[in-house]
Chains A and B, each alone.
Chain A
Amino acid sequence: MSELVRSPGVGPASVEHPAIIPLRERFGDAVIRHEIVAGDEHVVFVDPAAILKILQWLKESPDQRYDFLSDVTAVDYGGGRPIQVVYQLFSMPHCRALRVKAELPLSQLEIDSVVPLWDTANWLEREVYDMFGISFRGHPDPRRILMPEDYGEGHPLRKDFPLRGRFSRAEQTRQALAGAPEDHLPVESGTGGEPRIVPWQEIHAAAQVPADESDD
C-alpha cells in the first residue's frame, strides 16, 4: 500500500508547521505562542512591536516565501481583552497558509503598517482602522474607507459600540443629509495642499499595474 496522499498542510503530519521552529530560532521571545485551531490551521501570536520584521522575514526568506497577503482583519472579544490584529498569509511557491496574530491592549491600539511589504494592505488596514480604531504607523493614506469620513460615532465593530449607533436616529438622519453626495467622492490627501476630488479617469489609471512592477 502506498502512503496516503494528503494535500499540503493537512493532517497529523502538519502538527509541526515548517514556519514555527525557524520563527522561534530567529525571533526568540517575539514569537509568543503557537496554536492549532479548527483541526489544521496554524496561528502564531507575535509581539506587535516586531510585526513588520517578522512579516518581512516570512515574505522574503527562501524557505517561507509567504508572498500573498490574503487578509488583514481584527477581532475584538470584548470584556477589556486585547484586540487581535490578524494577518492571513499564503505562500504560493510552497502552497502553505499561516495566520499571524498580534494582540494590542485597548490602551495602545497602534501597530506598524505592512503596506511597504504588500500593497494590498493599504485598503485592508484602512478597513481595520475604520471598524476597530487601530492606527497603523506609516500608512500612506490613513482614512476611513467604509463609513463617511466625517463619521463621529466611533468604530462600529468594537464590542463597546452599541448596535444602533451612539446618536439617536433623528441625529443620524440629520447628519446624513447635512452633507452633499459629493462629500463621499474620493479625495486626494497627503499631498499637503487643499483636498481635491479625484476624477474617475485618474482612479482608473492608478489601478493599472505597470508591467515592470509586477511581483516576481
Chain B
Amino acid sequence: MIREPSSAAGLPGEIFGSGTPTFLTTKIDFVVNWSRRNSLWPMPFGTACCAIEMMAAAASNQDLARFGMERMAFSPRQADVLICAGRVPYKLAPVLRRIWDQMPQPKWCVSMGACASSGGVFDVYSMVQGIDTIIPVDVYVPGCPPRPEGLIYGLMMIQEKIRGESLSNHPELRREAPEEAGRPRASAAEVTALSGPFGNSTRQEQSGGVATNLGLSSKGPVSL
C-alpha cells in the first residue's frame, strides 16, 4: 500500500492523529542516559575460560545485542564497557591498565568471574589478586565461570547505574585523570589489606623462603 502524502499542514500526523505536536518535553539527563545505556559497546578482555562464557553471551542463543551491546569493540578507543573475563597475571597488568587508560569517558568496567575479581584459586606469585587493585571496577560478576545470564545481569546492573547518573555531577564523576594513567588504582595499604586475609590453605607467608643467592632479606616481607 502506498502511503498518501500527509495533510495540508505538512506534518506526519498519522500516528497520533493530525494536529498533535511532533515534539515532546523531557529531561536532558534522561535522554543522555537513555542513549548511553542502550548503546554500550563492550571491550572484551578475555584471558581464560570466562571468555568462553562471554562469547556465549554474545552469540545468538543469549544475544547480548538485545541490550544494546550491539558489537564487541576490539579497539579500546571505541568501547564503553571493559569486560575483564579471566585471570590476569602481573605480566598482563600494565596491558590491562593501558587499555583502560585508552578508553574514552564515559566508561565502565565489569570484573567477570572469581579470578578477575579476587585472584580466585590462584593465590600465587604470578597472579593479580583482583583487578580492582589495577583499575576501578563497577560490577563484579561472581562465578567460576559465571553463566552468560550472570554476565548479562551484570551488564544490566551497569545500565541501572547509568540511569542514576546526572550531567550535573558529570565533571567530577567522569573526570579524565592523566596523572593517574599507568598507576595502580589501590594504594599499597589497600592491596595488602585485600590480599592478606585471603591466604590459601597452605598459609605460606611471603617471607617463608630462604633468600640465599638473591641478597634479599629473609626476615620479613619487603615493606614499602
In the complex, the answer to whether B206 meets A166 with C-beta atoms within 8 Å is yes
In the complex, the answer to whether A164 meets B134 with C-beta atoms within 8 Å is no
Report the minimum CB–CB distance from B115 to chain A (whole Å): 15
In the complex, the answer to whether B188 meets A181 with C-beta atoms within 8 Å is no
Contacts A/B (CB < 8 Å), 30 sampled: A147-B126, A153-B214, A154-B214, A156-B125, A156-B126, A161-B125, A162-B204, A162-B205, A162-B207, A162-B209, A163-B123, A163-B200, A163-B204, A166-B125, A167-B222, A168-B191, A168-B192, A168-B224, A169-B191, A169-B195, A170-B191, A173-B184, A176-B90, A176-B94, A177-B93, A177-B97, A177-B134, A177-B183, A181-B95, A183-B94
Question: In B36-61, which residues have CB < 8 Å from any A CB?
Answer: none
Residues of A in contact with B (beta carbons under 8 Å apart): 133, 147-148, 152-154, 156, 160-177, 179-181, 183-184
A162 to B214, CA, bound (A): 14
B interface: dominant SS: loop
B98: chain A residues within 8 A (beta carbon): 180-181
A162-B206, A174-B224 are known contacts. Are A148 and B91 too (CB-CB below 8 A)?
A: yes
From A160, A172, A180, A181, B90 is in contact (CB under 8 Å) with A172
A201 to B124, CA, bound (A): 35
A interface: dominant SS: loop
In the complex, the answer to whether A154 meets B211 with C-beta atoms within 8 Å is yes
The total of interchain contacts (Cβ-Cβ below 8 angstroms) comes to 111
A175: chain B residues within 8 A (beta carbon): 90
Residue of A with least CB distance to B90: A176
In the complex, the answer to whether B91 meets A173 with C-beta atoms within 8 Å is no
A160-B209, A176-B93 are known contacts. Are A170 and B192 too (CB-CB below 8 A)?
A: yes
In the complex, the answer to whether B134 meets A173 with C-beta atoms within 8 Å is yes
A180 to B186, CA, bound (A): 18
Question: In B122-175, which residues have CB < 8 Å from any A CB?
Answer: 123-126, 128-129, 133-134
In the complex, the answer to whether B125 meets A163 with C-beta atoms within 8 Å is yes
B91: chain A residues within 8 A (beta carbon): 147-148, 176, 184
